[in-house]
Structure 1
Amino acid sequence: MKPEFENISLIKNEEKKRFEIEIDGHFAFIDYRETGHQIALVHTEAEPELAGTGAASAVVEKTLHYIEGHQKKLLPFCPYVFAYIKKHPEWKRIVDEKFEGYDKL
């Protein structure tokens, strides 16, 4: 994660069902579904003003830390999150082994 994102807080916006970070009034976020011990990440997005800044990657990394810190298992349905974990295989440790694409990570 780029240093400029390290001190930005991750918000779990339960009303909108998304994890989000805010940079200069603009958001990068991941839509999620939570059931019991699992959190499914379904869609990652950064507002156009944040394109190319690394904000999407930062919100993914912060969300993975949140999931691990809350002892949940990840279901990475979002293609961006799935690709992030492939690129950073150390995060496979929090993916639920029952996830259909687990062996492709």
Structure 2
Amino acid sequence: MAAVRDNKAQNRFELDVEGAVAFANYRLTPSAVIITHTETPRSLRDRGIASELVKGALELIRADGRKVVAGCSFVVDYLAKHPEVADLTA
């Protein structure tokens, strides 16, 4: 699977899978990244793609020295299931 990338021009994290793109839109604040929406193409659903996308996005956010704010239910659920990234929540 490809690496998650930060498409700064479109304010979204992206993950290419089988010719399709899963993405997570975000808004920036001075100290945090607010993930507002995640979307996985229908053909890729129920395979853990969105979790890989969020995991990669969180790694990029951590590397950038920012915190994350869950602005969509998928990210809220992901953070609840992964206490190892609790230090990233704003």
**Which TM bucket (shorter chain)?**
over 0.9
TM-aligned CA deviation for residue 15 of structure 1: 2.2
5+ long unaligned stretches in structure 1: 97-105
Larger Rg: 1
Dislocated runs of 4+, deviation >6 Å: none
User: Does residue 88 of structure 2 align to residue 86 of structure 1?
Assistant: no
The aligned amino acid for 1:47 is P
Identity of aligned residues (%): 31
- CA distance in structure 2 between the partners assigned to 1:39 and 1:85 by the alignment: 14
5+ long unaligned stretches in structure 2: none
Give the total of aligned pairs.
90
Which residue, out of 18, 24, 34, partners 2:18? Answer: 24
Normalising by structure 2, we get a TM-score of: 0.93
Normalising by structure 1, we get a TM-score of: 0.80
User: Does residue 47 of structure 2 align to residue 53 of structure 1?
Assistant: yes
- CA distance in structure 1 between the partners assigned to 2:28 and 2:66 by the alignment: 9
